[in-house]
A = this chain, B = another copy of it.
Amino acid sequence: MSDPAEHFILALSCPNRPGIVAAVSTFLFEKGCNILEAQQYDDQESGRFFTRIVFNVVQGQATIEAIRAGFAAIADTFSFTWTLRSKAEKRRVLLLASKFDHCLADLLYRWRIGEIPMEVTGIISNHPRETYAHLDFDGVPFHHLPVTKDSKMAQEAKIWEIFQSTNTELAVLARYMQVLSDDLSAKVSGKCINIHHSFLPGFKGAKPYHQAHARGVKLMGATAHYVTSDLDEGPIIEQDVERISHQDSADDMVRKGRDIERRVLARALSWHLQDRVLLAGGRTVVFRD
């Protein structure tokens, strides 16, 4: 029998039609499962249905394999795109950073205290290990992969090799200041989160704080999004802002931005790892905690 203390996360989307909730909830009930959390969303525009259900097994002998097998039949009927995972399963995440390490340090801290449940498969930087002399990587392999215009293809090949050989499920660009090539972007599509230091779609590209300062905006922000080959145009997962004034120079914005960036990226990563983020075309459905 399953341990009632083990929680499972079912996340799915499908074309909307009557009976989906009835079919899924009846199936879970018959397998002896109890729903602990559920959120759903019917997108009237696209006609798609999205749901995320957390459940445990409270009666009977059903293993997760049996539930998964039984569920596959329903999934076929309704054309589900779906995942089913134990909440305890830690997903494998590769972190990429450059010189500024505020996001990297923050993610490592949250990981260490158990706030972000993940297995860190490696840390990649175009800067050497001594850049992070004060950070305790706690045994996580570090890869110094410097990059120049000429070496970019080779360097990205190495990144991709590490991604694959470590069974990485998600890459996080934690202020990794290199633009990924179209080729690598395509390979990690849906499996790579970036933090951009502006409130997108405003101020795409380089030096967004300087752009924002020049425009004289009264709030500044940061955006976590999935990487696509279209620079800073991928589906947005999370954004946040803070109020600024004419007094704030571009340097002040860099300083204030660190706080916004790290909390936006941490939220986006947490939600992704908990299967709270579902893709809906170029947008995301986010079942927030």
Contacts and interface: CB of A to CB of B under 8 A. Distances in A.
Interface string A192-228: 0000000111110000000000111111010000000
B252 A236 contact: no
A36 B25 contact: no
A236 to B, nearest CB: 5
A28 interface: yes
Contact of A28 (B22, B33, B38): B22
Contacts of A248: 289
Interface residues of A, number: 73
Contact of A235 (B21, B32, B216): B216
Given A22-B26, A239-B218, A40 B41 contact: no
Contact of A200 (B38, B59, B105, B202): B202
Contacts of A261: none
Contacts of A85: none
A39 to B, nearest CB: 7
Contacts of A246: 41, 43, 280, 283-286
20 contacts: A18-B29, A18-B35, A19-B29, A21-B29, A22-B22, A22-B25, A22-B26, A22-B29, A35-B42, A38-B40, A44-B249, A45-B249, A105-B109, A200-B202, A215-B236, A216-B236, A216-B284, A218-B237, A252-B289, A259-B263
